[in-house]
Structure 1
Amino acid sequence: MAAAPVSKKQVQALGTEGWSKWSSLQDDLVRRIAGSFLASNDLDHYMCLRAVCPSWRSATDDPKDNASNPVFHPLRWIILDEVFQGDDDMRILLNTHTGRFLHKKLPLLREYYVVATTPSGFFVLADRTPPHTARVFNPLTGCLTCFPWSVPLEAGVAQVGHDDGLFYLYFLGDSSRKIYIGFPEVKYFVSRDCQQLAYNAVRDAVLGGAYPQHISVPALVDAFADLFDFMRSHSDFFNFFLSDLPGDTENNIRFRCYVVGLPAQVFLHVEREGRTPIVFKMNTETGKIEPVKSVGTFTIFIGCHRCLTVDADKFPAIEANCVYYTQHLGSSAQICKYNLSDKKVERLSEVAEFVKEDKQFVLVAARPFTIIQLLCSYTINRRDSELALQQMVQGAEQSCSNFVDGDLDG
């Protein structure tokens, strides 16, 4: 016997009845579900849960009421620069601990200059009108924190920190070796000059995603001092570093040290034919560093600009306990994989995956790109500050105008 057809009114009644049951879910259960999203740092899911109904919204905390609370900060996200062609509002975000991609439209970015993106997933912005005050934008919660001071023009590396309930923003200036620190409640920032070793330690820790979550500045300096002591105790190893190495000739970088996003690990990467990456780990009992052969289920990605770690269990295409790095071939670059266990190096392709265009290395591999290619693109490239670029354009236009005026006067 055939079942009687269900009318549209009956479907609507069932939907309304089912919805009323969900909306009456006990507050403690709603908070437990919300807490699971916060535990995995899936803040966008948390915001969607709060948008379901008024009762769920009232049962959970609003990030906009306390934007400085670190529980509402992106901690494990990176912002990939491989944006959709023709849509400047679209960004691709990746949770490196869960392997989840998020395609998100961010029209707010059109209202500001993008100065930098942090290794944790914040956008650092500047007002388009002078004095170009700083803003920190959380793309997962939509929170925009205002800082009442101007962004330093030389700033290209930035990070957000929190300490004892204080929310702060700091920039690194490569040309002056200054660290700029500012708070939302203070109308000026504090700048501090650093010696080269200390500045390099902080910079490489920030770009590796480890500072300020995992290690303090004094510990960084001590770790790098131990690293150089280790090198000096191995004369062949140390003499190798004294030779001319390819790298970032503009900044006179001959080799790269990163404090990666794993507790107390120092990663040393060298780009030279016949040489392989080396991973050091801090021995917490002796306070010394020592080479290691395993980073467990994690994998390290290293480039000339940034470093990051991912949990290989969440990325089936990525091999655990390996280092993926880019080997430069003049105007191109290729991806290599170094296995920490057997110390073998493998090139992933016979042809180069990147071609240099202006200052960026562009993927030339066929779409869709693999996750390994995307993560290597993230480490090999770093966008310039839009504010600094705009200032350069205005300066060039002013120089040209002065030249023309002077020529006419003459």
Structure 2
Amino acid sequence: MASPPTVDWKCLPDDLIRKISDCFVATDDLDFYMDFRAVCAAWRRVTDDPRADGKNPRFLPTSWIMLRREGSTLPDAPITFVNTTTGRFLRKSMTCLRRYFFVGASPNGLLVLGERAPPYETRVLNPFTGAVVNFKAPIPADMVQDVIVMPSPMMVFIFTGPHKYSVSWADQSSESFKERELIMDYPSDDLCLWNMTHFADQIYLANMYGSIISTSTVREEATMTTAILGPTLEDCSSDMERKRGYYLVKSDGELLLVLNRRKSTGPVVYKVDTVNNVLIPVWSIGNRALFVSPYRSLSVDARKFTTVESGTIYYTGSFRACDYQNGGWKKKKVGYISLVSLEDRCRPPTVPQLFVDYCKDFDVSELEMMLRRNKHSYYSSDGSEYDGITE
């Protein structure tokens, strides 16, 4: 019996190689794309190298989030990512983190890092391609509550709190981060800003009263604007009821404001019309599931995760959820979602538990921890000093 003819895979037509590689890019499977290029020199010759330009929007992740790092005290600890659109989990050992301070993870999967030597310049790492984008600005030494990397033009936004609510931003040409303290119409002890969200080339934040503020990135320079909404929904029965919480979340191409009320009979989700600065009631979120907390919020396609319920809002602070049933929102009890860290749980965590931990825990800047531990002084590029110690 004659043996079947052998196939020389490296001799595939160039257009077929490009079509296959484009499929990986289209589904945000950039790690598959890199594995595909690693097969042979012929395939690398035909396809583009994502590391040639780390800012190329074609090779920037869009749907990935980084879950809590396992053993985060180790610089090369494995990191788990999840694609909120396709439901695929990816666990990677990031040995390259040994060379940097970890600052935070952007909701699109990019990592914000800092050089380990003064002046601690900022770096943005694409963990799926290995591409690194260099920034001149040293990373801030304040407590980092959240970070966002805007792709075009690439800018890093850092939200600090809770002792001082401010947003800092820099692009590649910035010598240092520009900072704007966030002062609104209420006393600072009631401010409680949260949920820094990237939507339509803007950064949005909300506070416990439902006021929403935004940034403007006109001419590649960010500036804070006044409140575009709020305080919203003044029909609350009391001031305490009004302060129960408003959470911003980007969901399926829309910016939503989610309410946390015990006695509300009306809608608990509103679409934020950022053009006309109005709120539009939402009576159904379809197959989406929302996880909301004071630190960050998340929207996922529940059909991709078997243990996540469609049309459900998970309030990670109160362990309650509400869903859309029979023409209206209905509160319901859900299984207890433990606040115990993942490392201490005896049983493997469920997918909702993983998303709860992602939303309720903010990233800790390793530079800030080092400064506090060693009581070093931090000098920014403009010569100003920050001692990094809070009494």
TM-score, with structure 2 as normaliser: 0.78
2:240 pairs with one of 236, 239, 243: 243
2:215 pairs with one of 214, 217, 220: 217
Pairwise CA distance, 1:289: 1.3
Residue in 2 that maps onto 1:159: 148
For residues 30 and 66 of structure 2, what CA distance do their matches in structure 1 show?
Answer: 15
Instruction: Flag as ranges the 4+ runs of structure 1 deviating above 6 A.
Output: 84-87, 199-202, 213-216, 221-224
Inter-CA distance 194–336: structure 2 relative to 1 (3 Å threshold): closer
For residues 261 and 299 of structure 1, what CA distance do their matches in structure 2 show?
Answer: 9
Task: Give 2:334's aligned amino acid.
Answer: L
Inter-CA distance 129–367: structure 2 relative to 1 (3 Å threshold): same
Inter-CA distance 283–173: structure 2 relative to 1 (3 Å threshold): closer
For residues 382 and 122 of structure 1, what CA distance do their matches in structure 2 show?
Answer: 15
Kept after mapping to 1: 8 A contact 2:291/2:356: yes
Identity over aligned residues, as a percent? 28
Residue in 2 that maps onto 1:301: 291
Question: Per-residue displacement from partner, 1:7-46 (whole Å, max 9, x unpaired)?
Answer: xxx7xx96xx32x1x2122222211221111111111011
Pairwise CA distance, 1:254: 5.4
Task: Give 2:292's aligned amino acid.
Answer: I
Once the two structures are overlaid, the 10-residue window that deviates more, 67-76 or 253-262, is 253-262
Task: Identify, as 1 or 2, the structure richer in strand.
Answer: 2
Kept after mapping to 1: 8 A contact 2:87/2:305: yes
For residues 69 and 396 of structure 1, what CA distance do their matches in structure 2 show?
Answer: 37
CA RMSD of aligned residues (A): 3.6
Alignment of 1:174-323 (within 5 A): 174=161, 175-196=163-184, 204-206=195-197, 210=199, 212=201, 217=215, 225-226=228-229, 228-229=231-232, 231-232=233-234, 234=235, 237=236, 239-240=237-238, 242-243=239-240, 255-270=245-260, 278-282=268-272, 288-323=278-313
Inter-CA distance 213–155: structure 2 relative to 1 (3 Å threshold): same
Kept after mapping to 2: 8 A contact 1:170/1:182: yes
Inter-CA distance 83–149: structure 2 relative to 1 (3 Å threshold): same
- Structure 1, unpaired ranges of 5+: 246-252, 329-334, 398-410
Task: Give 1:217's aligned amino acid.
Answer: T
Task: Give 1:204's aligned amino acid.
Answer: N
The higher radius of gyration belongs to 1
Inter-CA distance 159–202: structure 2 relative to 1 (3 Å threshold): farther
- Structure 2, unpaired ranges of 5+: 205-213, 218-223, 378-391
Residue in 2 that maps onto 1:64: 51
Task: Identify, as 1 or 2, the structure richer in helix.
Answer: 1
TM-score, with structure 1 as normaliser: 0.75
Task: Give 2:102's aligned amino acid.
Answer: V
What SS class does the counterpart of residue 320 from structure 1 fall into? Answer: coil
For residues 262 and 318 of structure 1, what CA distance do their matches in structure 2 show?
Answer: 17
Once the two structures are overlaid, the 10-residue window that deviates more, 110-119 or 387-396, is 387-396
Q: Are residues 1:384 and 2:382 paired?
A: no
For residues 313 and 77 of structure 2, what CA distance do their matches in structure 1 show?
Answer: 32
Q: How many residues align?
A: 353
2:29 pairs with one of 28, 42, 60: 42
Greater relative CO (CA pairs within 8 A, separation 6+): 2
